[in-house]
Amino acid sequence: MAISSSMQTRNAEMLRRELSAKTDKELSGVVKERRDYLSDYSVHNIVRSLRGAFELEPGVFLKVSNPNIPKEELADQLNGQYKSVGYMRYALRVVGIIPENESAYYRKAVVESIKDSYKAAREIGIEAGMPVSSVYRILGKLRSSKVLAIGGRINPEGKREKLYRIKSGDVYQKLVSEESLAAHYRKLIAESIRARYRSVTDISKETGIPHSTTARTLKAMGESREVVISGEITMYGARQRLYRLRLPEV
């Protein structure tokens, strides 16, 4: 499920303006806050890649910040230096300009849209720049979790439509806390695979994170190029994946 272009464009432009105004020291602080397991050298390289991305023409920057565009297509616009796109995209993921987890990105957009007022699914979609089908899927999951208050009204076409809102401020804080827990799990897993390759089972045992949650987190980290994936044959003849943290050096 790809993030809608209008939503990604607004997010990228807003964060670009905000982050490009920061000093290198302030940018380093942002990077360390989101990836506190990185070395100072890696943080320096990420900041340098961010500066390179922020200096691009707006149209080129938006293409670089869209991971669905192959980097080879940007060769002419980057004077042939398209290989640097990989570093730029990693840096943009670190600071949140490129979403690390698309499902979480959509869910957060829906929750933020209805935390204070009732809205119809189509209104949520317009506000967040999301397909209404994606809005309905997320609303269905939130409804199953019993965190939604649901109302209704007659719309201008004379049809009845449902309205949705997060039940209360306490419920909203609970949802935010769940996101914080996911970030905490990600940090523990990153520490576990910082220096060596490890299997999902070994990571789960060391961190105490459920095996299924560990596997889901590693899949998301793989999609955002945070891990290097290898493999081995176990003593029982089965093949298993091994993961190690990617520490990019420019």
The SS3 assignment for 38 reads: coil
Report how far residue 31's alpha carbon sits from residue 24's, in angstroms, rounded to the nearest whole number. 10
Identify the structural domains of the chain with CATH numbers, from first to last. 5-94 (no CATH), 102-167 (1.10.10.10), 183-245 (1.10.10.10)
* Residue 73 CB-density burial (10 A; 0-12 exposed, 13-18 middle, 19+ buried): exposed
Report how far residue 40's alpha carbon sits from residue 167's, in angstroms, rounded to the nearest whole number. 43
The SS3 assignment for 239 reads: strand
Predicted local confidence at residue 107, as pLDDT: 79
DSSP labels, 111-175 = HHHTSSS-B-HHHHHHHHT--HHHHHHHHHHHHHTT-EEEEEEE-TTS-EEEEEEES-HHHHHHH
Cβ 45 vs Cβ 35: under 8 Å: no
Spans of the chain below 70 pLDDT: 1-10, 37, 68, 79-83, 100-105, 129, 178-181, 247-250
Predicted local confidence at residue 1, as pLDDT: 42
The number of beta carbons lying within 10 Å of the beta carbon of residue 147 is: 17
CA distance between the termini of the chain: 31
Residue pLDDT, tens place only, 180-218: 667 778 888 988 998 889 999 999 988 888 888 899 889
Predicted local confidence at residue 103, as pLDDT: 66
Count the alpha carbons within 13 Å of 197 in the hemisphere toward its beta carbon. Answer: 9
The number of beta carbons lying within 10 Å of the beta carbon of residue 163 is: 18
Q: Give backbone dihedrals phi and psi of 199, rounded to 5 degrees, phi first.
A: -85, 165
Tell me the two tokens of residue 203.
């990571």
Instruction: Give kind and range of the element (H or E) at residue 59.
Output: helix 58-64
Predicted local confidence at residue 250, as pLDDT: 44
239-245/148-154 β-pairing:
unpaired
